[in-house]
Amino acid sequence: MSDAGARATVLAVDDEPDLAELYRVYLDASYEVRIATGGEEALTMMDESVDVVLLDRRMPDMSGHDVLEAIRGEGFDAQVAMLTAVEPDVDIVDMPFDDYKTKPVTKEDLLALVEVLLRRTEFDEHSQEFFALASKKAALEASDTTNTEEYEELIDRMEAVRDRVDDTLDQLSARDAFAEIPGEVP
C-alpha cells in the first residue's frame, strides 16, 4: 500500500484500451493511475504500492476472476472493485473482491468508488469483510437475484461478521472506559 502522504495508486484493468484510458483521465488528478488492457499485463503491473484495482470481469486473455484470484494468491491486500458490464449473479458471493459496479460509470461514480475503497482500508479486517459482503448483497439485490440459497448464505455470513465487528467495538469501548486519564490520581 502507498505510504502516508503519497498519492494512492489505482490500477485500472479493462480490455478496451479507450475505456482504460478514460478511467486514467477521470482519476489522474487525484491518484497515481496505471492502466492495463489485459489480465497478464495487470499482474505484471501489480505490486505492494497499488491501493485500488478496478478490474473488468470479462477479458479475452484472462478473466477478471482469474486476475483477482492471482492478486489474492500473491498476498496483495489492495482493494479490488469489479467494474464490469456483466450483471451480478450468485457466482459473485465467493469472489474475494471488495465492491462490484456495473458499467457504464460516470466520472463521479468512479471517483466516489475509489474514495470509498480507500476509506475502507482504514477499518479493521472484520469491518472490511462486512463492507465487501454488503456490496455483494447490494449487487445481487440490484439484479433481483435474492431468491437463492447463495443469497441466504451471504446474509448469514453478514450477520456473523456483524457480530464480530460489534464484539470488537464493545471490547474497544470497554478498554477505553478504563483508560487512565492524564493528571488523575489512580
Angle between helices 107-120 and 125-142 (to 10 degrees): 150
Predicted local distance difference test score (pLDDT) of residue 180: 40
Give bridge partners of residue 10 from the DSSP assignment. 33, 52
Q: Is residue 1 part of a domain?
A: no
pLDDT at 179 over 60: no
Between residues 87 and 146, the one the model is more confident about: 146
Q: Is residue 186 part of a domain?
A: no
At 52, give phi and psi (nearest 5°). Answer: -135, 135
Is pTM, for the whole model, over 0.85?
no
pLDDT at 14 over 60: yes
At 83, give phi and psi (nearest 5°). Answer: -125, 100
Rounded average pLDDT over 71-86:
91
Rounded average pLDDT over 36-57:
96
- Could you tell me the residue range of the domain that residue 119 belongs to? 9-177
- Give percent above pLDDT 90 in the chain: 59
Q: Is residue 72 part of a domain?
A: yes
Q: What is the CATH number of the domain that holds 106?
A: 3.40.50.2300
Count of structural domains, the chain? 1
